[in-house]
Structure formats: structure tokens, C-alpha cells
Chain A
Amino acid sequence: MSSVFYTSVSGWAAVILVGVEIVLPYLLRRSWLSLRLGLRMAQDFVAPYFKRMWVHCWLGYLVAGLSFLHAWVPMQAGHLRGVSLAGLWLGTAALFLLALQVAVGLALREPGLPERRQIRRWHYGLMIGVVVMVAGHVWLNK
């Protein structure tokens, strides 16, 4: 049952990392959260925002990789019979949105991006989409 273990652990790890990914940008820049936690003043002494965001970028790739693994392992093992089809579609949509999110994130790494504000809105909207799809997938397929 190692495939069950890897499917489960990769899925939950991706869910935890999605949460970390959402919170990180608010901790790494001046926001109500970083202010409340007393992180802002300390951040003023370290690298600029773009450099500090490297963790967010790499965790994003890791989330996409883990999600792909989470889909690949049960498909290879043929473990998808008997589970909610609607939940699987939501999971598939989440995986698609994550791939899109990586592409948008890569674009945002360019400091001189002219449509930065608009693309950041897309990044935020996609994040909400991923959360909704993942929540539905977990609820129906847990």
C-alpha cells in the first residue's frame, strides 16, 4: 500500500505548502500581519523584497511538483475507481490552475514588468481559485 501512502502524504504536503505559500508574501513585506508579528522592522535590514521572495517562488514549484506526484501515483496504481468523480475533476482543475499560477509567478519575477499590478491581481485570483478547488477536492475525496 505504499502508493496509498505516497498519494496521501504528497496531497497533504501540497495542502500545507499552499497555506504557507499564501501567508509568505504577507510576512515578507510590510503588511498588517508582518506588523503585528513584529517582522517589518527586522526585514528592513535584510535583502530587498524581490530577493526575499525566493522561498515563495521555490515553494511554488514544489507545490506544483507535489500536486503532479499526487495525481500521478494513484493513476499509475489504478486507485481511482470508487472515488468521487466530481472531486477528481476539482483536483484536476486545481492542478491546471497551479500550472497557470507558476507561469504567472514566473512573469512576476521580472522587476521591470509593465503590467505588474494587473498580473498580480491574476496571481491573487488564481490563488483563490486554487484554494476553492483544493478544498472541494479534499472534501469529496478525503
Chain B
Amino acid sequence: MESDNKVEGRARVVWGVLIAVVVLLFALAVWKSGATAKMMSAASSSEQEFSRIAAGSAAKFVAEITEVSAEGKITGRLLQKKTEEVYARTATVAMVQPNEHTKIVMGKPADLRAGAVVHITGTVQKDRAVAAEQIVILTGYIKVQER
């Protein structure tokens, strides 16, 4: 027969492990939520900055999709950040070329359609189209206004 102290000690260890697991899960939830929120407020280029990006350089911008071709090429209008959640339409047209390695975050490829708002990270090509490395779907999270 186990002594009372031994039993209580074992119970304490079990409860300690269970509480530690729950705390760890909470920490993971906070970290994941923070990463998602950070991703959605990522830096974006202004109209002037976007037009000055040289071929071969990295580009980060927010755009409203106006057309998606049958080949998957995206045409959109660059959006200018006003606040964290409000962006204004600009006259600058952005061409985006996703490929099989492009990471789609916060949505699925079917979400890439006219009217969708996306944050693009990629590399500017010689033809000024952006080879997308990551597309974050921001539709519904960002309000788009006329300038």
C-alpha cells in the first residue's frame, strides 16, 4: 500500500503536468494569433515606392484584384494604406503571377477573384509583373475607399 505522502506527491505531479500542458497550449494560441495579426498588418509599398522598385527586387504591397486570367495571372489596383484597416484605391495597376510554389495564407486559391483584397510578397520581374511568393487574403478584414 502506497503511503499518503507518495499518493499526494504523485497527484501533485500529474496536476502540475496537466496545468503545464494547458499553459503551453495557451502560449501557442497567443503566439499563433500574434503571428496571424502581424502577417495581416505587414508593410506595404506606397504608389511612388511601388513604381520605383527595380526588376529583381522584392515587393510587398496590398492590392484589390480586378481580374484573374484563365492562366491564373492576377491584375489588380494597388491600395494605399490609410490606417491599419482602411486602404484607398490608387490608379496604379499591379500584375501578379502566382506559381505552384506561391503560399496562399488566410484563404484558398478560390478566394483569388475579382474584388478580393490581397497582400502580395514577391519579386518584380523585367515586365514589371510580380512573381508572387506569398499571397495573404485580406478580403473582409480591410475596408477599401476611393482616394
Binds A, one of B23-31, B54-62, B70-78: B23-31
Residues 1-31 of chain A, each 1 if its beta carbon lies under 8 Å from chain B, else 0: 1111100110011001000100000010000
Of A1, A9, A12, which contacts B85 at CB under 8 A? A1
Residue of B18, B37, B116 contacting most chain A CB atoms (<10 Å): B37
Residues of B within 8 A of A (CB): 2, 4, 7-8, 10-11, 14-15, 18, 22, 25-26, 29-30, 32-34, 36-38, 40-41, 84-85, 107, 111, 116, 137, 139-141, 143
Whether A79 pairs with B40 at a CB distance below 8 angstroms is no
B-side contacts of A8, CB under 8 Å: 29, 32-33, 36-37
A39–B40 CA distance with the chains assembled, in angstroms: 45
A4–B34 CA distance with the chains assembled, in angstroms: 9
A69 shortest CB reach to chain B, Å? 13
Of A2, A9, A39, A43, which contacts B29 at CB under 8 A? A9
